[in-house]
């Protein structure tokens, strides 16, 4: 199938599909005229890529994990995959803690500012 059909089947725009190819996540064949042609299995691969992106994985980790996924988006135990997933989870935990701390500072700043601008009682 051509890129337009894959885009339609997966709800993914063609620009993203080309990005996935540049990132090494998809490997379409090339027709003599230079057009990309995709296998039927690429439909499921794109859906798995999108699910892994939604889980917060960067494309460099997805490139490692993708060959170990099944059609049900389950990840099979492949060498290094669990370590990569655990490292990404730790990174997400650190980012979540940083965001929580930033949120607390912002909330305190808003509360202090509101307290100074409130009309005096009386």
Domain parsing of the chain, residue ranges:
3-117
Residues 59-79, mean pLDDT to the nearest whole number: 81
- Specify the pTM: 0.73
Residues 82-95, mean pLDDT to the nearest whole number: 92
Taking 70 as the threshold, does the pLDDT of residue 72 lie above it? no
Residues 84-89, mean pLDDT to the nearest whole number: 90
3-class SS of residue 106: helix
Q: Does domain 3-117 have CATH number 1.10.1660.10?
A: yes
Find the DSSP H helices in the chain. Answer: 3-10, 14-22, 41-54, 59-65, 81-117
Name which of 24, 69, 38, 33 is nearest 51 in CA terms.
69
Residue entry with tokens 């990174």 = 91
């Amino acid at each position: 199938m051509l890129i337009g059909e894959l885009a339609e089947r997966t709800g993914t725009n063609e620009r993203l599909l080309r990005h996935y190819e540049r990132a090494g996540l998809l490997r379409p064949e090339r027709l003599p005229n230079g057009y990309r042609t995709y296998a039927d299995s690429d439909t499921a691969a794109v859906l798995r890529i999108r699910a892994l992106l939604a889980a917060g994985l960067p494309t460099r980790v997805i490139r490692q994990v993708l060959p170990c996924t099944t059609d049900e988006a389950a990840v099979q135990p492949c060498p290094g995959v669990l370590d990569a997933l655990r490292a990404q989870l730790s990174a997400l935990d650190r980012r979540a803690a940083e965001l929580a701390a930033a949120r607390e500072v912002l909330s305190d700043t808003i509360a202090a500012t509101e307290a100074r601008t409130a009309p005096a009682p009386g």
